[in-house]
Amino acid sequence: MKDLFIPDRFEAFNSNAVKENTLKDFIVQVGTLSEINEIYEDMTSAGRGAFLILYGKSGAGKTTFLHTIPFFIMDTEVLSIANDQEISSLLGSLKPTDKEFRIIMIEGREAMKDSLPQEIEKSLHSINTFIRSKNGQKTLVVWLCNKKQMRDTLINTAVEIGGKSLINVENGFIEFTGPWQQDYVMIARNTIFSLNNGASLLNLGITDELARKIAWSSETIGDYLGELRKISNKNTNRVKSLVGIEKCKMWVLVISGNEPRKDVAALTGGSYAFADIDRLLVSTDANIVKVIKEIPDMIGKLASYFECKIINVPILAAMSIMREFGDKQLINMMKAQGLQTISNEDAIKKLAKSDLAKAFSNEEIGMGTKGAPTGSNSIDAFKKLSGIAASNDTLLNKALAEALLRANYILDYELEDDFGHGLTRRTDILCITKDVPIRLELMWRKKTGQAEIANYVLTKLYNYGKAIGLFDER
């Protein structure tokens, strides 16, 4: 239910502590990099620093480009001079860099009204002195601007102060246009995936077709990402208004005799087991897909809003839980099937090692360490247990809920709780937590695979959407 993070400015990346290795996943190389390389090579040959005016529209990605140059030019550092810092004082305090290349970016002074002529002249004198000194020998000072008047003022003043030795690029500046429009969708897709645990455009409620259409009408990548965020927030607010006081999370638990953990992993994205709608749609040809292909954007937004996860529960943990927390009726049914009912009192320990426990603890879910394969006797026993589930799964669900309660993963629970108003939609287990409620939908199967799991999850999401009346207006 937390809004997806879709930044359109580099400052937002910094304020949200985005990891450097995450940035690498969606930063693309642009043509201006070759021009920066040429300046770097000229600096090396001349044995002194350089000054550059980088001109481009607001939102084109100038700041992001400069901050990420170290991804493409080795042994480079990037520093910023904010608009509340005096340029001459900061440059005067700098020592020689230990790096082969240093970029100092002058930010927040793009508009003419923010910089008086005398301030500009003083700053350019300081820059000219600095790049000719030993301290600035390996430094490129870059002044960002997005106004033509400011650009021309900088060029004219710089020429008066240092001539061609200060302004040594053609036309006196480099125009930064950012990435190509045809790359916008790819950049957006990678950005959303990297910053939101595997989320996709569909999780914003945006189809590829709509994403491409918006790309071609956006002047800059910043404008594009901003527009996607507006649509995502609009779709989120629509779902939020329909859900009302019944806000919750929805997780699908897969408990099957063939231990389909790899199948579950293939249908999830990121490290928290969130359902990947794109993968789900191509993993089954069930009738539900035909319906959902008409509304993939809304199903994607539902999955995001409900933080839908798909989690595999090992059968050994499930069997232990049934023996230890099953009520009298379930135990009698298990005995009738010839199943062992004596508890080893290890159910909580097995549960604690499961992906389900990690999900409740908000921990990352990975493939984990490969253990010994489940024995044939355990598989045969689980087949009998799944037979009970086919006729009375509420008994098994209750035992699992009791285990979660006893292990303090939840505060309370309800079985077969109704949800929504547009369609009767009874949840297997409604878990009451310190945060929002979590609705668990359980797949008890003798054997299952990607197609069946995908069909089950998509059907659940569709029914949840129907239950809140999401599709009534379509």
Residue 160's alpha-carbon distances to 55, 128, 165, 382, 417, in angstroms, are 20, 11, 11, 85, 77
Predicted structure pTM score: 0.80
Question: What DSSP line would sit under 117-185, residue for residue?
Answer: HHHHHHHHHHHHHHHTSSTTTTEEEEEEE--HHHHHHHHHHHHHHHGGGTS-SGGGSEE---S-GGGHH
Residues 214 and 301 occupy one common structural domain? no
Question: Is residue 16, in this structure, part of any structural domain at all?
Answer: no
Domain co-membership, 70 together with 141: yes
What are the two backbone dihedrals, phi and then psi, of residue 55, each rounded to the nearest 5 degrees?
A: -110, 135
The answer on 139 and 95 residing in a single domain is yes
Q: Which token pair is 321?
A: 């839980």
Is 18 part of a structural domain of the chain?
no
In a domain, residue 141? The reply is yes
Q: Note whether 206 and 268 are same-domain residues.
A: no
Q: Are residues 113 and 35 in the same domain?
A: yes
Pairing assessment for the beta strands 268-269 and 274-275 based on DSSP bridges: antiparallel
Q: Are residues 171 and 227 in the same domain?
A: no
Which residue range forms the structural domain that includes residue 231? 181-241
Shared domain for 117 and 236, answered yes or no, is: no
Last residue of a domain, one of 196, 215, 241: 241
Joined tokens for residue 367: 């493939």
Secondary structure element (H or E) that encloses residue 445, with its range: strand 438-445
* pLDDT single digits (tens) 288-304: 888 888 888 889 999 99
Residue 151 lies in a domain: yes
Is there a single domain that holds both residue 406 and residue 442?
yes
Which tens digit of pLDDT belongs to each residue from 357-406?
999 999 998 655 455 678 888 899 999 999 999 889 999 999 999 999 99
Which pLDDT score, from 0 to 100, does residue 63 have? 87
Q: Which of 133, 158, 175 is the last residue of a domain?
A: 175
Separation between Cα atoms, residue 400 and residue 443, nearest integer Å: 13
Examine the domain organization and report whether 91 and 186 are in the same domain: no
Q: What is the spatial order of strands in the sheet that 174-175 belongs to?
A: 76-81, 101-106, 139-145, 50-55, 174-175
Residue 8, domain member (yes or no): no
Length in residues, the chain: 474
- Does a structural domain hold residue 9? no
Q: Do 277 and 321 belong together in one domain?
A: yes
The answer to whether residue 351 is domain-embedded is yes
CATH code of the domain in which 45 resides: 3.40.50.300
Whether residue 276 is found in the same domain as residue 387:
yes
- How many domains, in total, are found in the chain? 3
Question: Which pLDDT tens digits describe the chain residue by residue (474 residues)?
Answer: 567 787 766 666 555 544 545 555 556 666 688 888 898 998 999 888 999 999 988 888 888 888 888 888 899 999 999 888 889 899 999 999 999 999 999 987 765 455 577 888 899 999 999 999 999 999 999 999 988 888 898 999 988 888 777 877 777 788 988 888 888 999 898 888 888 888 889 999 999 999 999 999 999 989 999 999 999 999 888 888 888 777 899 999 999 999 999 999 999 988 889 999 999 999 988 888 888 888 888 899 999 999 999 999 999 999 999 999 999 999 999 999 999 989 888 999 999 999 999 999 999 986 554 556 788 888 999 999 999 998 899 999 999 999 999 999 999 999 999 887 755 678 999 999 998 999 999 999 999 999 999 999 999 999 998 888 888 755
Tell me, yes or no, whether 418 lies in a domain: yes
Query: Is 295 in the same domain as 338?
Result: yes
User: Which of 271, 266, 285 is CA-nearest to residue 366?
Assistant: 271
213, 241, 269 - which closes a domain: 241
